[in-house]
Amino acid sequence: MSLDELLDVIRQVHAGKKKIPSEIAAYLAEHYSQERLTTREVEILRQLAGGTRNRDIAKRLFIAEETVKAHIKHIMEKLGANHRTQAVAMGVRRGIIQL
């Protein structure tokens, strides 16, 4: 950020306006989702991170395998992931789960 840009931001904030630098706005847009994962979805995401198969997740959580698949679909939609591995990586980056 140049000195002129910094001064402009200071003036705007001093005048009561809010200013988010474009770099931060872009980061937020990429990493923030309006929809939060449910408790069950987070639980399933943790299982995915451990490499657990759908069938085994279903047994551990006492739900049908088709229900697990539906949860995974919703997780991927909410996170904007294209596959399970990407969903796990995004979950870790966003602080939803820890490895």
Domains of the chain, by residue range, sit at 1-32, 39-93
Give the side-chain half-sphere CA count within 13 A for 76.
Answer: 13
7 band by pLDDT with thresholds 50, 70 and 90: confident
Element containing residue 8 per DSSP (H, E) = helix 3-14
CB atoms within 10 A of CB 80: 12
Residue 3 near residue 11 (C-beta atoms within 8 A): no
5 band by pLDDT with thresholds 50, 70 and 90: confident
Question: Distance (Å, rounded) from C-alpha 9 to C-alpha 23?
Answer: 14
The share of the chain scoring above pLDDT 90, in percent, equals 59
Largest CA distance in the chain: 60
Q: What CATH code is assigned to 39-93? A: 1.10.10.10
Question: Distance (Å, rounded) from C-alpha 4 to C-alpha 42?
Answer: 44
With 0.75 as the threshold, say if the pTM is over it: no
Q: Pick the more confident residue, 40 or 1.
A: 40
